[in-house]
Amino acid sequence: MAANSHGKTNGSTRWVGTRPVRPDGVDKVTGRARFGADVHLPNMLVGKVLRSPHAHARIRSIDTSAALALPGVKTVVTRDDFNDLPSEFVPAGEMLVNYRDVVRNVMAREKALFEGHPVAAVAAVSEKVAREALALIKVDYEVLPHVLDVVEAMAPDAPLLHEDMITAGVDPAPTTPSNVAKVVEFKIGDVEAGFAEADIVIEREFSTQPVHQGYIEPHSCIANYSEDGQAELWCTTQGHFVVRGHCAKLLGMDVSKLRVTASEIGGGFGGKTVVYLEPVALMLSRKSGQPVKMTMTREEVFQASGPAAGTRVWAKVGMTNEGRITAGEAVLKYQAGAFQGSPVQPGCMCAFAPYDLAHVKVVGYDVVVNRPKVAAYRAPGAPQSEFAVESIIDELAKRIGMDPVELRLKNAAKEGTKAAYGPTFGPVGLVETLEEAKAHDHYRAPLKPGQGRGVASGFWFNIGGETCATLNLGEDGTIALVAGTPDIGGSRASLCLQAAETLGVDVERIRPLIGDTSTLGYTFLTGGSRTAFASGMAVVEAARDMIRQLCERAAKIWDIPAEAVEWIDGEARPAGSNAGEFEPLSLADLARLAGKSGGPFVGRAQINAQGAGPSFGTHIVDVDVDRETGRVTIERYTVIQDAGKAVHPSYVEGQLQGGAVQGIGWALNEEYIYDDKGRLQNPGFLDYRIPVCSDVPMIDTVIVEVPNPTHPYGVRGVGETPIVPPMAAIANAVDSALGLRFTDLPMSPPRVLKALGDARVPEAA
């Protein structure tokens, strides 16, 4: 139970692993919580963006004079207001962004590269006036041929988005430009030799559609730029320090002059790791001298933010008749959207990661197309490549009549496995999730006639990174916890639990806050499933810092050496030869005595968290297929995943369920529908179909705990892995039900009905 003087656990925990009510819960259910659009300032203007109606067009000229002349319009911003920036890559979540592209994505320069690309923005006294002003801006476009499909974009005669784009990663470098930004390759062993050992080789081509992160809260921010060149920005984001960096760069500001506050966030899923409105709102505020608020409509969210990359993936897997996988090879072609930077690299890294393979080769292409620039979406890049591999693994299992869980167990990555992308795994929990799957009641439950069951595993590597945290001890012994990672999945609850565990105090005495960019040192964004892990490590570090100070203070009060004081169960106790000599001093006692004994207590940590443990998961799904309408119904779904240690099990379960549900949408219905001019036909939740509650059964969860040795409580990130297996698990289940293998997503009713009809034709003939 007790923590020793270093705040380490002795295996069992008092707070970590419990399920208190989340500290942000009441405000959220009462409507008191302030989200992106809930901040209002005196003299606030409304900013609106004029967006390109064309998928691809050169911008010859922009005439804003009529808009500026409209009463109530305060200022207009176009490409002329932003300085061009040189090519420079910086991290954004698990992906990289290039400032040359960020400035162009925020406001089109030479060309509009997708429908919805911002071309100008207006700040006016009301939304109505702002909208009228947008209609008065005259843009002279030279409409150009566009390309939406990744394979078509790679063709030699495809319209070029960037006339100067020379493919990187190819030796020798090409002499002519193309839409292929980059080629990456990961290799281990010799795949030719591996395939030669195989008795069965299956290769197939797969496609996935771009899918939106589908956060309910649209992008929103309010900027307030003052006359002395300082500015405040409130926005809904997964990383306000990253927003600060991007905005300061685009506006030519010192980062110290820009204070960014993250609002409560109504969903992000990776999509709120980049900037869209924020630099524009700052520029409008700088030019108008008034606060400017901007909020996207849902249509704008779909046209111009996200999505995850649409892909074409070819994969090939070889296996012996005994079920030993001998080699895996894949070629991944990922849509980047209008600017380079698809998550094809993590896609390559994850493709075969669940398996202990001697021979792997994965080649990835990062390809620009006339769609919005892709953004991170939960395990960016991994669901697409693992869909392909996990589908083939299922087919191989069926080919030799082996149970698909057994086949995976036979080949599973484990501690000591060298992954094709470089690292050798430490303790990982894939085998444990597979064993749990095998033993689960779901896996043995009988199916009704016509139903099918599918299984798939998934992997995500998780990240750490730069992280700060502070614990401020109040005079009554309660604590304000300040973290810099916006809470998108219950992390405030989990950080409080980790602090309570380390300090040995009741979690109710710790109140968390996401500090703005001026209250803490640089803290990387919430992404890569890093927050419970990295901010957790920082909080534990800060708690240990505070314990050290508390022990020193007790020693001073007792007039004994600091080493002779230990911290147990939330109080300082004299130890060693002094044991029992003095009454213990509790946290509250020391807090009360702080002023008289040497001053306040502040625990601090600034770390670069290393050693994020990867997380593996295995999903089991039962489907029913309506043979007459093509509708696939998810009848039962179980997620089994390694959490390392579930700090707040309810929120781990929530992550597992949420990932599965988003994967179900990706598998069955979600897709972008464009007309022949490259205009999006379904920019809304009516026709872009994320699942509603009644579309899915209660998702059952099993948390496996294989501790991550680098985290004090064994935590691994859990938020991303659960979106990786669903697409293959469902396709494998549909194949079990119908004997039809779907390699193209989504498996929507028209596609399923058509495949059923096509399959019937030979019988009829």
Binding residues (CB under 8 A) for another protein: these are 131, 628-631, 668-669, 673, 681-682, 686-687, 689, 691-692, 694-695, 748-750, 753-754, 757
Smallest distance from another protein to CB 346, Å: 30
Smallest distance from another protein to CB 45, Å: 20
Nearer CB in complex with another protein: 230/682: 682
Terminal-residue alpha carbon distance, the chain: 73
Sequence-separated (6 or more) residues with CB below 8 Å from residue 74: 45, 123, 124, 125, 284, 287, 288, 290
Sign of CA dihedral 544, 549, 550, 551: positive
Nearer CB in complex with another protein: 686/764: 686
Nearer CB in complex with another protein: 183/753: 753
Smallest distance from another protein to CB 29, Å: 17
Nearer CB in complex with another protein: 556/754: 754
Nearer CB in complex with another protein: 130/594: 130
Segment holding 365, helix H or strand E: strand 360-368
Smallest distance from another protein to CB 411, Å: 36
Nearer CB in complex with another protein: 630/726: 630
Nearer CB in complex with another protein: 12/694: 694
Nearer CB in complex with another protein: 10/694: 694
Can you tell me the distance from the alpha carbon of 536 to that of 466, in angstroms, rounded to the nearest whole number? 12
DSSP 263: -
| Residue 601 φ/ψ, nearest 5 degrees | -110, 125
Residue type, 596: K
Smallest distance from another protein to CB 211, Å: 15
| Residue 535 φ/ψ, nearest 5 degrees | -65, -30
Can you tell me the distance from the alpha carbon of 375 to that of 339, in angstroms, rounded to the nearest whole number? 11
Segment holding 25, helix H or strand E: helix 25-30
Sequence-separated (6 or more) residues with CB below 8 Å from residue 243: 233, 235, 237, 260, 275, 278
Smallest distance from another protein to CB 70, Å: 17
Can you tell me the distance from the alpha carbon of 331 to that of 166, in angstroms, rounded to the nearest whole number? 20
Smallest distance from another protein to CB 278, Å: 26
Smallest distance from another protein to CB 676, Å: 12
Can you tell me the distance from the alpha carbon of 121 to that of 304, in angstroms, rounded to the nearest whole number? 14
Can you tell me the distance from the alpha carbon of 303 to that of 306, in angstroms, rounded to the nearest whole number? 9
Smallest distance from another protein to CB 756, Å: 10
Can you tell me the distance from the alpha carbon of 158 to that of 589, in angstroms, rounded to the nearest whole number? 73
Q: Find out whether 15 and 497 touch, Cβ atoms under 8 Å.
A: yes
Nearer CB in complex with another protein: 364/630: 630
Smallest distance from another protein to CB 738, Å: 17
DSSP assignment of 586-611 equals EHHHHHHHHHHHT---EEEEEEEE--
Q: In 489-573, which ranges are continuous DSSP H helix?
A: 491-503, 536-558
CB atoms within 10 A of CB 227: 7
Closest CA to 203 of 430, 357, 361, 334: 361
Segment holding 410, helix H or strand E: helix 404-411
Smallest distance from another protein to CB 658, Å: 18
For residue 191, the Cα-to-chain-centroid distance in whole angstroms is 32
Can you tell me the distance from the alpha carbon of 317 to that of 386, in angstroms, rounded to the nearest whole number? 12
Look at residue 103 and give its three-state secondary structure.
helix
Nearer CB in complex with another protein: 580/757: 757
Can you tell me the distance from the alpha carbon of 603 to that of 472, in angstroms, rounded to the nearest whole number? 7
Q: Are strands 360-368 and 325-337 parallel, antiparallel or unpaired?
A: parallel
Nearer CB in complex with another protein: 18/682: 682
Nearer CB in complex with another protein: 173/761: 761
| Residue 77 φ/ψ, nearest 5 degrees | -120, 140
Smallest distance from another protein to CB 736, Å: 22
Nearer CB in complex with another protein: 324/689: 689
Smallest distance from another protein to CB 118, Å: 20
